[in-house]
Amino acid sequence: MKVLVTGGSGLVGSTLTDLLLARGDEVVAIDNFATGRRDNLKEHARLTFVEGSITDSKLVREIVETTKPGAVVHTAASYKNPDDWENDALVNATGTAIVARAAKDFGVKRIVYFQTALCYGIKPIQQPIRLDHPMNPANSSYSISKTAGEHYVEHSGIDWVTFRLANVVGPRAVSGPLPIFFQRLSEGKRCFVTPARRDYVFAADLANIVSRAVNGEGAGTYHFSSGKDVPIRQIYDLTTKAMKLNDAPEPELKELAPDDAPSILLDPSRTFADFGEIKFTPIEEIVERTIDYYRDFGVQGGFTHLKGLGAKS
């Protein structure tokens, strides 16, 4: 199969691309390196890489028309500045509309999309959150624009799968607490934690299921989640352990930011029903492998779409 992967140099995009190439597929990847790392993708005989943005309608349509992918996996997204509403809307909403329309016009058979769990709001009325939970994305520019993108994918009329995600982490992650903790601790700076709890899933575990969706398995909307959440403090402690910091400073405890949620925990029962039980990589192994990667290749990013949790101060 030939697969177009948008955001191909990002965490999910590059992890999936490696898997697809390893199983014999052809991959066309596009990325503008706003958050993706250039070294995440290596040259490969079955990989065609295009540097550019999904907001470039002419470029996207040319890629889809000339390469004729059987499926599009749309991982590209804007998330690194919570105050950049314009770019979020341009990339996550308009960019997705461009990708979906090109796929529709040039005969792509399936689109796989990724949505944020914050589409349900920061005060969900269910715990864990089921797929029938009302949508309430007006908590951040990111979640508003990602929800608009999801609607464009559904509106395309193409066979589609959406994965609404828990926190996806792994060695190539540039957002969330792991790169922030590693960077600050490496610089001898103190970190802070909040009472928040999250479900962390390994990018490679997600890629395994996405590759099956590319093959035609599943239909409609799913939660990709282990069904278990852990406190941010546990991630901090696992990070200091992986960094072998026996005298790591006690982190400052801060209250939740106004745009943060106490817990984001998704009900994965439909995913398990359609794809079978998933063997999730333990959080201890995820953190250890991620820190090993940062130690070897450094940290690029430390981004967060939440205003109160930036890594730059």
DSSP letter for each residue of 12-69: HHHHHHHHHHHTT-EEEEEE--SSS-GGGS---TTEEEEES-TT-HHHHHHHHHHH--
Same domain, 139 and 193: no
Q: Count of CB atoms within 10 A of residue 286's CB?
A: 25
The one-letter code for the residue type at 120 is Y
Together in a domain, 208 and 288 = no
Q: For residue 264, what pLDDT is reported? A: 85
pLDDT exceeds 50 at position 113: yes
**Residue 78 located in a structural domain:** yes
Residue 259: what pLDDT?
Answer: 81
The CATH number of residue 286's host domain is 3.90.25.10
The answer to the question of residue 58 being in a domain is: yes
292 plus 148 within the same structural domain: no
Range of the domain at 274: 177-197+227-302
Q: How confident is the model at residue 303 (pLDDT cuts 50, 70, 90)?
A: low
pLDDT at 305 over 80: no
In a domain, residue 313? The reply is no
Structure confidence at residue 300 (pLDDT): 80
Which residue among the candidates 79, 142, 152, 236 is catalytic per the annotation? 142
Nearest to 133 by CA among 142, 141, 123, 143: 123
The pLDDT, as a whole number, for residue 267 is 98
Q: How far apart are CA 117 and CA 123, in angstroms?
A: 11
**Average pLDDT of the chain, as a whole number:** 95
- 183: in domain: yes
Which of 189, 224, 259 marks a domain boundary?
Answer: 224
Q: What is the dihedral of CA 204, 209, 212, 218, to 10 degrees?
A: -160
Q: Are residues 253 and 159 in the same domain?
A: no
The arithmetic mean of pLDDT across residues 78-95, rounded, is: 96
| 142 given a catalytic annotation | yes
Both 161 and 213 in one domain: the answer is yes
Q: Is 114 exposed, middle or buried (0-12, 13-18, 19+ CB in 10 A)?
A: buried
How many domains does the chain contain in total?
2
Confidence band for 184, pLDDT divided at 50, 70 and 90:
very high
pLDDT tops 60 at residue 162: yes
Is there a single domain that holds both residue 159 and residue 123? yes
